[in-house]
Amino acid sequence: MIKFIPYIANIFILIPTVFIMFRGNNKKTVQAFQGTVNESAGLRLLVASFWLAILLCSFLGIFFPEQFVPILLLQCIYKSIFLFTYIIPSWRKYGIKAVPIGITICFAIIIVTWPFFIFIKF
């Protein structure tokens, strides 16, 4: 049962996030990034498509958890890159209000916890 936790967590996190990303908000910033990232329809939809792919793979991961472990690894990699190349530099330069704190916390938790599901056999 423990091996399903990351897939179920992905589903609960990504369903509302993907909906928000595809819907957009006709404003100058992306709602899912808590107003800290400027709107660009192309980039917003690229991220939304990527997150939708992870969401769909997470549904499959419930039925085939071992086969979809690479999705968890991919999440750790891209989230780490995002934190180290965007979040940390923005935080240091402009302060905490310049970063999407919800996404930052979520990404950090995933980076720390998913390796247990990736490398430990249950």
Tokens 């917003």 belong to 44
pLDDT of residue 6 exceeding 80, the answer is yes
Nearest to 27 by CA among 39, 18, 16: 39
Enter the pTM of the model. Answer: 0.90
Say how many domains are in the chain. Answer: 1
For the chain, give the longest Cα–Cα distance: 45
The pLDDT value recorded for residue 30 is 75
pLDDT of residue 1 exceeding 70, the answer is yes
The pLDDT value recorded for residue 122 is 61
pLDDT of residue 121 exceeding 90, the answer is no
Radius of gyration of the chain (CA): 15
Nearest to 68 by CA among 55, 58, 78, 77: 58
pLDDT band (50, 70, 90) for residue 94? very high
Query: Any residues with CB less than 8 A from the CB of 111 and at least 6 apart, and which?
Result: 76, 79, 80, 83
The pLDDT value recorded for residue 71 is 97
Q: Which domain holds residue 6?
A: 2-119
User: Structure tokens of 10?
Assistant: 């992905």
Tokens 């970063």 belong to 99
Give residue-wise pLDDT tens across range 35-87.
777 878 888 899 999 999 999 999 999 999 999 999 999 999 999 999 999 99
**Terminal C-alpha separation, the chain:** 9
The pLDDT value recorded for residue 31 is 76
